[in-house]
Amino acid sequence: MPFSKDVADSVLVKCGRHCCICRRFKPTMLQVHHILEESRGGSSDEENAIPLCVTCHIDVHTKTPFAQRFSPDELREHRDRVYRLVEEGKLVAEERDVEFRPIVTRTTSVPDFVSLSSLAQEILVAAASEESYVLLSVCDGGGLIQAGSMSRELGHGRQLAEAKSAINELETLRCLEVAGPSREVWDVTLRGYQVADALAAMSVGDVR
């Protein structure tokens, strides 16, 4: 079950709206994560909660072969250190870019997906959720865009231009890569799956 509002408010105050892994000040992009997952018997009380930014939350859940995953004890230590730094006044928003650096090595990076248009987000989430492709078929009368179970006919003109623009956004952020010479079909990249996961997490209201 999700954390109660009282628990979420308490941990967000204690961390000063900083991510407990990378220590960046992320006031509107934090999620409260279960340190010990509920499926493994973890509770939804404050001792089992850690505030994480969207990017670090994805990393915590990512299973990379031969890479050391975050353990519950490590996550608690990261959290408690950030709490102490905030309480002592050593970790504040104004100093985040000068005094502190990420405390873990990042093997992946997620682009600034917040800038994506609503159509680009819809296309990416639909394709990634079903591990499918993106198809844009153009004809004289308009076109058709498909992404997973999403299928939409496009009128010639504005609708078709918006679809092309959305795909261009996703290509620019390396969320999609063209499959074949015809530029009609695109595959979702690893980065695309990461961004889609973050967007899906935001849509269910986990971001505070």
Q: For the segment 35-55, what is each residue's pLDDT rounded down to a tens digit? A: 998 888 999 999 999 999 888
Query: CB–CB of 147/134 below 8 Å?
Result: yes
Q: Residues 147-160: pLDDT tens digits?
A: 888 888 888 788 88
d(CA 69, CA 126): 28
Residues of the chain with pLDDT under 70: 94-114, 202-208
Furthest-apart CA atoms within the chain: distance in Å: 66
Question: DSSP letter at 207?
Answer: B
How high is the pLDDT of residue 114?
A: 57
d(CA 111, CA 64): 19
